[in-house]
Copies of this chain bind each other. A is one copy, B any other.
Amino acid sequence: MPKTSPVSVGLIGAGRIGSFHGETVARRLVDADLVAIADPAPDAAAKLAKNLEVDAAYTDIADLLAHPGLEAVIIATPARFHTNVLVQAAEAGKAIFCEKPMALTLDEADRATAAAKAAGVPLQVGFNRRWDQAFAEGRTAIDAGKIGTPQLIRSLTRDPGPFGADPEKIPLWTIFYETLIHDFDTLLWLNPGARPVEVYAAADALVRPDSRDKGFLDTAVVTIRFDNGSVAVAEANFSALYGYDIRGEVFGSAGMVTMGDVRRSSMTLFDANGVSNDTWRRDTDHFIHGYTAQLASFVRSVRGEGVAHAPTGADARNALAIALACIDSVKTKSAVSMLS
Closest residue of chain B to A57 (Cβ to Cβ) is B1
Contacting B at CB under 8 A, from A130-168, are: 133-135, 137-138, 141, 146-149, 151-152, 158
List the B side residues contacting A272 at CB < 8 Å. Answer: 241-242, 254-255
A257 in contact with B242 (CB, 8 Å): no
**Cβ-based interface call for A8 (8 A):** no
B253 in contact with A270 (CB, 8 Å): no
List the B side residues contacting A202 at CB < 8 Å. Answer: 198, 200, 223, 225, 231
Convert A118-133 into 0s and 1s, putting 1 for each residue whose CB lies closer than 8 angstroms to a CB of B. Answer: 0000000000000001
List the B side residues contacting A242 at CB < 8 Å. Answer: 255-256, 270-275
B251 in contact with A271 (CB, 8 Å): no
A255 in contact with B229 (CB, 8 Å): no
- In the complex, what distance in Å separates the CA atom of A147 from the CA atom of B237? 14
- In the complex, what distance in Å separates the CA atom of A226 from the CA atom of B237? 16
A53 in contact with B223 (CB, 8 Å): no
**Cβ-based interface call for A209 (8 A):** yes
- In the complex, what distance in Å separates the CA atom of A140 from the CA atom of B266? 14
B137 in contact with A264 (CB, 8 Å): yes
**Cβ-based interface call for A314 (8 A):** no
B235 in contact with A152 (CB, 8 Å): yes
What number of copies of this chain does the assembly contain?
Answer: 4
A255 in contact with B279 (CB, 8 Å): no
**Cβ-based interface call for A207 (8 A):** yes
Task: Give which listed residue, B138, B200, B241, B265, contacts A133 with CB less than 8 A.
Answer: B265
A277 in contact with B279 (CB, 8 Å): no
Give the number of residues in A that approach B within 8 Å (Cβ atoms).
80
List the B side residues contacting A225 at CB < 8 Å. Answer: 202
**Cβ-based interface call for A111 (8 A):** no
B251 in contact with A158 (CB, 8 Å): yes
List the B side residues contacting A262 at CB < 8 Å. Answer: 270, 275
- In the complex, what distance in Å separates the CA atom of A135 from the CA atom of B50? 34
A233 in contact with B231 (CB, 8 Å): no
B231 in contact with A221 (CB, 8 Å): yes
List the B side residues contacting A267 at CB < 8 Å. Answer: 133-135, 137-138, 141, 257-259
List the B side residues contacting A274 at CB < 8 Å. Answer: 242-243, 263, 276-279
List the B side residues contacting A240 at CB < 8 Å. Answer: 251, 256, 270
List the B side residues contacting A152 at CB < 8 Å. Answer: 219, 221, 235, 237
Closest residue of chain B to A256 (Cβ to Cβ) is B270
List the B side residues contacting A146 at CB < 8 Å. Answer: 269, 271
Closest residue of chain B to A138 (Cβ to Cβ) is B267
Min CB distance A229 to B, Å, is 5
* A200, A241, A272: most-surrounded residue (chain B CB, <10 A): A241
Min CB distance A103 to B, Å, is 28
| Chain A to chain B contacts (Cβ below 8 Å), 17 pairs | A27-B31, A28-B30, A29-B30, A137-B278, A146-B269, A146-B271, A148-B241, A200-B223, A202-B225, A239-B253, A241-B254, A245-B270, A254-B271, A257-B267, A257-B270, A259-B266, A273-B276
